[in-house]
Every structure is written in structure tokens, then in C-alpha cells.
Chain A
Amino acid sequence: GAGVSQTPSNKVTEKGKYVELRCDPISGHTALYWYRQSLGQGPEFLIYFQGTGAADDSGLPNDRFFAVRPEGSVSTLKIQRTERGDSAVYLCASSFGTGGPQHFGDGTRLSIL
């Protein structure tokens, strides 16, 4: 597609469950980023991939959060043992190389009941 695609658009699950969020970056973009946005706040950085490797994972809040990008394209953000505080919009972005503008998807709205 022409833009960054994220699925699902909405996810509702119970506390303690495992969730996976998917991001399809713009074709040809080597860099991929995950951010989390709480209501009324700006996005906060989680992790950045250059190719298949995580170049910076300093924003992951704890070891319940993990992300992969096995073939250097699609990425999956995985959250184990979800907590109510994990409820937020999870945004994915990609860029061509590291110096260009980041282009964002519409996000996945995650609600933990």
C-alpha cells in the first residue's frame, strides 16, 4: 500500500492476556519505529529498527514488551500479561533511511479491561 498500515485498528482484551500488534511499513523504508500515545499526550518512543535489528529499544517500558522485524519489513509488537495501564494508541512509523521524515500509520487502539 501507499502508507503505513497497522492492524488491528482496535483491540479489546482482558487484563493478563497476550496481544500482538502488526505494522506494515511503506515499501522500501528501512527504518521502522513504534510509539505509544496516551490520551491528551504526544507519542512516546518505544523501539526503533534499522533493517531486522532493534537499533534502540530504550523506550520499552518493561520486559513484558517485545518487538520483532524478522525480514526487515513487517514488524510485530508483542505485549505479555497485559495490564490496564497498557491501554493506549500504539503508533508505527517508517522512514527511508534514518534522516528522512517519519511517516505514521493510523495506530492500533488497545484497551485492556
Chain B
Amino acid sequence: KQEVTQIPAALSVPEGENLVLNCSFTDSAIYNLQWFRQDPGKGLTSLLLIQSSQREQTSGRLNASLDKSSGRSTLYIAASQPGDSATYLCAVRYGGATNKLIFGTGTLLAVQP
């Protein structure tokens, strides 16, 4: 079964700290991997998308890496700010005819001012 796991489930850090969120997937034959942010009561905001042929993507203070062989991705957030507080979700799309995303359960991040 294709599963996506995120660790930790929750994380609290002081403002300014660099942090890493982890995502692991059971089947390495992925098509791409997408990181999302979800604020309470809101939909998902796409942060970064990494194609299976790529090893990392960067956007501002965010950097996402992908290691297919080990079934892992990390989201690195530099110089965290209180406005970064949200739930971060990792989603994997596998190859084949389907375009569905398989999501992890998310990491709830709180950045303390």
C-alpha cells in the first residue's frame, strides 16, 4: 500500500530558528512530490513541487529536498517567523494513469514570537 508519513506531528520553535519537516513514502516510484501549507479553516496553499528527476526546489526561505531511493523528502524553513505557523502537508503523486495525490497527516508548526 502506498503511504505517506510525516514526522513530527507537531513542532513548536522560537522565532528565528531554522527547522526541518520530514516526509517519508513507502513506494519510491513517484512522479512528483508537493509540499503544501494549510492555515486553520482554509484550503491548501502549494509551496513547492519537486519532480521525480529533481533533488531539490527552493522558494525564498523554503527549500525542499527529495531522495527517492530512501523514500524521503524534507522541507527546510530558514529563519522561521510567527507567520509560518500552520500545518504543513506533504503529498506524493505516483506514476501511471492516475493524478491523485496521497497525503501525509501533516506537521502542525507553531513559531513562538
A residues at B contact (CB < 8 Å): 4, 6, 31, 33, 35, 40-45, 48, 50, 55-56, 58-59, 91, 93, 95, 98-107, 109
Contact = CB atoms under 8 A, between A and B. Distances in A.
B61 interface: no
Contact of A48 (B43, B46, B99): B99
Given A42-B89, A58-B100, A98-B99, 16 more contacts: A6-B43, A33-B101, A41-B105, A42-B103, A43-B89, A45-B102, A48-B99, A55-B98, A56-B98, A56-B99, A91-B44, A99-B32, A102-B34, A104-B43, A104-B45, A105-B43
Contact of B103 (A43, A55, A103): A43
Interface residues of B, number: 24
Interface string B20-55: 000000000001101010000111111001000000
A104 B44 contact: yes
Contact of B98 (A41, A48, A107): A48
Nearest to B105: A42
B4 A42 contact: yes
A70 B91 CA distance: 28
A6 B41 CA distance: 13
Interface of B: 4, 31-32, 34, 36, 41-46, 49, 89, 91, 97-106
The prevalent SS among residues of B at the interface is strand
Contact of B43 (A59, A95, A99, A106): A106
B100 A45 contact: yes
28 contacts: A31-B99, A33-B99, A33-B100, A33-B101, A40-B105, A42-B89, A42-B104, A42-B105, A42-B106, A43-B101, A45-B101, A45-B102, A48-B99, A50-B99, A55-B98, A56-B97, A58-B98, A93-B44, A95-B99, A98-B99, A100-B49, A101-B46, A101-B49, A102-B34, A102-B46, A103-B46, A104-B46, A109-B41
A103 B44 CA distance: 8
